[in-house]
Amino acid sequence: MNRFEGHGNREAKIRYLDGDFQVLMPGSHVRCAVTGETIPIDELRYWSVARQEAYVDAAASLEAERRAGNI
């Protein structure tokens, strides 16, 4: 069993770090802050350390930056 298995279908609580993340409460997924889509933990690639948010893809990350007024 890997570190992502065995946690059912609940949302994980994550602390997003520079280039990594720390699982605070185990779960199978997180939600994209822009789209609301489910992101399996093992597919999580995009997030904001400053806003502590996850994003489903680069386009969602860019949209979050636009909404924050950074672009």
Average pLDDT of the residues in 46-51: 97
Q: Is residue 8 assigned to a domain?
A: no
Q: How far apart are CA 65 and CA 6, in angstroms?
A: 34
Residue 18: phi and psi, rounded to 5, are -70, 110
For residues 45-64, average pLDDT: 98
Q: For the chain, how many structural domains are there in total?
A: 1
* pLDDT score, position 8: 76
Domain span including residue 54: 13-67
Encode pLDDT of 14-44 as tens digits.
999 999 999 999 999 999 999 999 999 999 9
Give, in order, the Cα–Cα distances in Å from 15 to each of 18, 66, 69: 10, 22, 23
Q: Which H/E stretch holds residue 66?
A: helix 58-67
What backbone phi and psi angles, to 5 degrees, belong to 8? Answer: 60, -145
